[in-house]
Chain A
Amino acid sequence: MDQVYKVAPQLLKFLSYLLGWLPWIGKPVAGFLSNPPAWFLLAVAIAIPILFVVSVFPGIFAYTTLVERKALGRIQNRIGPNRVGRWGLLQPIADGVKLLTKEDIVPRSADKFVHFLAPVIAVIPSVLLFSVVPVGAGLVPVDLNIGILFAFAISTASVLALFMGGWASRNKFSLLGAMRAVAQVVSYEVPMVLAAVAVVMAAGSLSTLAIAKAQGGGILNVTHWFVFRPWGFVGFILFTIGAMAESARTPFDIPEAESEIIAGYHTEYSGFKFALFQLGEYLASIAMAGITVTMFLGGYNGPGSGPGILGGLISMFWFFAKLGGMIVLTIWIRGTWPRVRVDQLMSFAWKVLLPMSIVNIVAVGMWHYIAIRPIAWVVTTLWLVLWFITLSKLAASENIEKREYRYAS
């Protein structure tokens, strides 16, 4: 916001130049804009990031749904949507119009107020998440010094909306889905936060902007990304798994497992309320992808990124390229992996991810205190690999009894 505050006067001057040609109101408006009072400048500086977040990310959401449908189609050797516009480019608009014109059904025995409130609350945390995601060098809507903490606190709040929706619908499938959602999000929150702790320790700050800045430098602004550290690599995988579980993406989409419980918590939602749930879920997914990029994939850092207008634009390009890469990865995973079982989900979170994230924190400590880098590389890698093997053996060593079929042959 500080940067926006600096740029705002120039922007307003440009705007006044444009509007000066208008008859009657042109002159006074241009005069006001070229010499704005402080409060107006502040309002503009606040409005610009909000407009950015509210316009750009839902747009990304809309086209993510299209890309997802096209990519899943191609993975399954289908064509995917191609009826509305070239390559189906107008499909998101058609979907929106369709959902807006659909009947809004509220079950008779539902808690109507909570039923109405749930989809609204589902969107709010997802939008708020973007307030701490730096989209370019210094370009973050709010540079909170506890940005990461804020992100986790807010993202967990979305589970409230899921449970409200499931509970207020008064439908057994909705409630089952909501219970699963709560269990899942609460379980995966723990390893995810612990994976983030490793990054916070390495960067020495909870601010997302500071974490992104800490990954700059090196060869082409690339080699210092945390993902290219042993602990960072492990943390990246842990955090990605956690983020996917948190936003109920496919291998972990048991809250809305359509083959088991219809649509889970949004079974009883139709029309635009359903769209809002979908919007909230996708926005959360995109925001978590953004935070993953910021924490592990170097954020906005990339070849050519840096301060200044050109560097800023290049840094934005890198951020959105990486964000797109993460989105494509989640879509690819969705098109490939089957859904995990509820018990597998829980045992995976508590028996593998949680110990592994704690081991990872220890690895960061080693990395910090072993001053000679090659030795640090060897030691942390060995430590992590050995623990990974041990944990996976332990997790798999639940002796699976060979089933004996006594009556069937």
Chain B
Amino acid sequence: MGFIGKGLFEGMVVTARNFVGSYFDKERLVTVQYPEERVQVPENSRTFPFLVFDKDSDPVASMRCVACKICEVECPPQCIYIVMDRDEKGKPQQRPKVFDIDISVCMQCQICVEVCPFDAIKMDNNYEKSQYGRFDELVEHLPELLKSNEFYNKIKPTEATAVDAKLKADAEKKAKKAAPAAKPAATAAKPAAPAAPKPAPVAAPTAKIAIPDDAPFTPEQRQWLSGYLSTVAASGVAPAAAAPVAGTPAAPATEAPAGNWPWHDPGLGMQRRLDLAKETPIADKLMAAMAQTDCHACGYDCRGYADAIATGAETDLSLCLPGEAETANMLKKLMQEAGKL
């Protein structure tokens, strides 16, 4: 039945239905009153990365990050900055002293999460990151980045459960491996122990270029600079100087602080590092093939892993996670060249 103005009344019915329906039908009234109510974000949504720690009692000690810098290297917009923590002697502490993420640069790509071998960095889903400034305020430091594993389980239950299960399985496997290996390792360790100092000698004395003690550098800068300068010096004078020093006493070399090895710099390429270690014993060559991050993913630092391979205490050549396949292949090649494999 049609009459003039029918559409007008149909419109009135529609609006009346909306009016009444908005009081009874939750589907209609979709408004979320933001500060009081929040939309439940999907579990797989992501914003910016955070660092996972395990124990609430000591977040810094129990954080999973070992400052291997894989994420720093892989990060496409290079928004991550990591400085490894060291004790007074310069010994790596397996954790970052500085871990900064510039969230104004971060593009939320999740690549850092995907490359992390320790499940230490994960994506948060907190979208309330606004600040009153554009610069320092948008850089997140270690204290803000550290979040507990419970928090991770809360925001992403499925993913976190899988990660927890995997970590538990890994730990069990390691424990199982360690238990039978303990005895042979102990026996093997004895002949290995004296062997270890042997490969230590380096081109250090010649290549060493003194940086004045009053030069305005932080320890990190000083370390990097000395490494850099020594590589420059080494490449220039290496043929003449490196060879005679090869037989310097072992004891002082092992005592020497990290950084006396010119290739021990994650910024150098594989080829450059191997060139620097050309005239050195097999253990140093092996070490030069590592990623130089001292990340301890293998269970040693770079020095220790190289020595362990050289002495035969460690037979697995694929443990260097930061170095990926490149390091593993190179280690294999070096061992074959040395006739040890």
Contacts and interface: CB of A to CB of B under 8 A. Distances in A.
A79 B19 contact: no
Contact of A336 (B15, B30, B31): B15
A74 B12 contact: no
Nearest to A79: B31
Nearest to B33: A79
B31 A74 contact: no
Nearest to B10: A336
B14 interface: yes
Contacts of A337: 8, 11
B193 interface: no
B16 A332 contact: yes
A78 interface: yes
B4 A336 contact: no
A79 B15 contact: no
Tell me what chain B mostly uses at the interface: helix, strand, loop, or mixed.
helix
Interface stretch (B21-29, B46-54, B179-187): B21-29
Given A79-B29, A392-B4, A74 B11 contact: no
Interface in A376-409: 392, 396
Nearest to B17: A75
A335 B13 CA distance: 11
B6 to A, nearest CB: 12
Nearest to A333: B12
> 7 closest A-B pairs (Cβ-Cβ)?
A336-B15, A75-B15, A74-B22, A74-B19, A392-B4, A336-B11, A77-B28
Interface in B161-194: none
B18 interface: yes
13 contacts: A74-B18, A74-B19, A75-B19, A76-B18, A77-B22, A77-B28, A78-B22, A78-B29, A78-B31, A335-B15, A336-B11, A336-B14, A337-B11
For chain B, which range describes its interface: under 10, 10 to 19, 20 to 34, or 35 or more residues? 10 to 19
A71 interface: yes
B18 A75 contact: yes
Contacts of A78: 22, 29, 31
B28 to A, nearest CB: 5
Interface string A335-358: 111000000000000000000000
Nearest to A391: B4
Contacts of A74: 18-19, 22-23
Contact of A332 (B12, B23, B29): B12
A77 B29 contact: yes
Contacts of B12: 332-333, 336
A240 B28 CA distance: 32
Interface of B: 4, 8, 11-12, 14-16, 18-19, 21-23, 28-31, 33
A77 B30 contact: yes
A392 B3 CA distance: 10
Nearest to A396: B4
Contacts of B21: 77
B64 to A, nearest CB: 44
Nearest to B18: A75
Nearest to A76: B18
Interface in A49-85: 71, 74-79
Contacts of A77: 18, 21-22, 28-30
A392 B6 CA distance: 13
A335 B8 CA distance: 12
Nearest to A78: B31
B66 to A, nearest CB: 50
B34 to A, nearest CB: 12
A344 to B, nearest CB: 13
A78 B21 CA distance: 11
Q: Give the interface centre of A78, A335, A336 by most chain B CB atoms within 10 Å.
A: A336
Contacts of B15: 75, 332, 335-336
A71 B31 CA distance: 15
A75 B21 CA distance: 9
B8 to A, nearest CB: 6
Contacts of B28: 77
A396 to B, nearest CB: 8
A79 B33 CA distance: 9
Contacts of A396: 4
B298 to A, nearest CB: 59
Contacts of B33: 79
A333 B5 CA distance: 13
A13 to B, nearest CB: 48
Contacts of B22: 74-75, 77-78
A229 B33 CA distance: 49
Contacts of A76: 18
Nearest to A83: B33
A356 B47 CA distance: 65
A336 to B, nearest CB: 4
Nearest to A237: B5
Nearest to A352: B4
A335 B20 CA distance: 14
A119 B18 CA distance: 36
Given A332-B15, A336-B15, 12 more contacts: A74-B19, A74-B22, A77-B18, A77-B22, A78-B22, A78-B29, A79-B31, A79-B33, A335-B19, A336-B12, A337-B8, A396-B4
Contacts of B4: 392, 396
Contacts of A75: 15, 18-19, 22
Nearest to B12: A336
A76 B30 CA distance: 11
B11 to A, nearest CB: 5
A396 B18 CA distance: 31
A163 B272 CA distance: 85
A65 to B, nearest CB: 17
